[in-house]
Amino acid sequence: MASSDLRNRVKEYVDTADVRLLKMIEALAETYHNEAHEPSLSEEQYEILDCRREKHYSGHSKSFSWDEVRQNARKAKP
């Protein structure tokens, strides 16, 4: 079903809905909106990433080119 068709069906439901259904739709939309704006990582995870980034930029961590990653992956295959 195309998004425009789905949108029209939802609008039809809203246009004919009673208060109970409207409240349920509102709660669903609010939950969706709030979850979409929440960060997907915790503060601790951001701190770990920041630490790793600092180590990388300062040269204190090992990094690999894509070619090296491919070679290592091929070697690791059983």
Q: 27, 38 in Cβ contact below 8 A?
A: no
Angstrom distances, CA of residue 62 to CA of 30, 52, 59: 44, 11, 7
pLDDT digit string, tens, across residues 12-71: 999 999 999 999 999 999 998 887 776 778 889 999 999 999 999 999 998 899 999 999
Task: Give the pair of three-digit tokens for residue 60.
Answer: 């204190």
Predicted model pTM: 0.44
The Cα–Cα gap between 30 and 48 comes to: 31
Domain residue limits, the chain: 3-76
